[in-house]
C-alpha cells in the first residue's frame, strides 16, 4: 500500500490526519488493547493517524479514551450476544444451542473468543488481527450482519471515502478469515 498516496487522496475527501504514531505509541496501544496491528494498518498509522469522526483514537490513553476504544473492540461480540439473546441467533459451529439463555450466552462468548479479533478502522468497519499480515479484508459488522466492505485496507478506504465505487472493488481473491468470512455467506 502506498500510504503517502492514500493519505493525499483521503485528505482530498476531507479526512483529517494527525502525525503518525511513534513505535512507542504503537507498542503502547498494542499492550493496552491486547492485540497486534496487522502490518498494513501499522504502516498507515505510523505514517499518518486518521483522526476525528468515527476513527478510533489510538494515541489517547486517558481513562475515557481507553474505555471508548475498548467499547469499540467489544462491539462485534456485544452485537452477536444481542442477536443470541433477542433474535435466536446461533452459529452452527457452536453445536446444539443450550435451552437456558445464560448458558447459550456463555457458550457464544466462549466460542467468539476463539475467532480472530477485529480491530476498528472506522465506524463499524473492522480489520481482523489475524493472520497478522497485510491484505486482510475489511468487514462491516453490525450485530450478526457481517459483510465484506473491502478486499484489503486500501480498497476499503478508497470505497468508504468515495475514491472508488464499492462495486469496483477487486474481490478476487479475498483472503479467507476464519468465522468472519463464514458470517458473510
pLDDT digits (tens, 9 = 90+) for 2-20: 999 999 999 999 999 999 9
Q: What is the pLDDT of residue 158?
A: 95
Residue 152 per-residue DSSP state: S
Stretch 48-66: mean pLDDT, rounded? 96
Containing structural domain, residue 116: 3-183
Q: What is the pLDDT of residue 167?
A: 87
What residues pair up with 138 in beta bridges, in sequence order?
150
> Quick one: what percent of the chain has pLDDT higher than 70?
99
Q: How many domains does the chain have?
A: 1
Rg of the chain over all Cα atoms, to the nearest angstrom:
17
In the predicted structure, residue 185 carries a pLDDT above the cut 80: no
pTM, 2 dp? 0.94
Q: What is the pLDDT of residue 139?
A: 97
Contact 58, 35 (CB under 8 A): no
Amino acid at each position: 500500500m502506498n500510504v503517502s498516496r492514500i493519505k493525499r487522496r483521503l485528505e482530498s475527501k476531507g479526512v483529517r490526519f494527525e502525525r503518525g504514531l511513534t513505535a512507542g505509541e504503537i507498542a503502547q496501544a498494542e499492550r493496552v488493547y491486547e492485540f497486534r496491528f496487522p502490518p498494513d494498518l501499522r504502516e498507515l498509522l505510523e505514517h499518518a493517524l486518521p483522526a476525528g469522526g468515527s476513527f478510533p483514537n489510538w494515541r489517547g490513553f486517558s481513562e475515557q479514551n481507553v474505555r471508548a476504544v475498548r467499547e469499540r473492540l467489544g462491539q462485534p461480540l456485544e452485537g452477536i450476544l444481542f442477536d443470541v439473546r433477542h433474535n435466536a441467533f446461533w452459529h452452527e459451529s457452536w453445536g446444539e444451542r443450550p435451552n437456558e439463555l445464560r448458558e447459550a450466552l456463555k457458550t457464544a462468548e466462549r466460542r467468539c473468543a476463539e475467532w480472530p479479533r477485529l480491530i476498528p478502522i472506522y465506524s463499524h468497519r473492522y480489520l481482523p488481527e489475524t493472520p497478522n499480515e497485510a491484505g486482510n479484508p475489511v468487514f462491516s459488522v453490525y450485530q450478526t450482519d457481517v459483510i465484506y466492505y473491502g478486499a484489503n485496507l486500501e480498497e476499503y478506504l478508497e470505497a468508504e471515502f468515495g475514491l472508488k465505487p464499492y462495486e469496483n472493488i477487486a474481490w478476487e481473491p479475498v483472503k479467507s478469515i476464519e468465522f468472519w468470512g463464514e458470517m458473510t455467506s
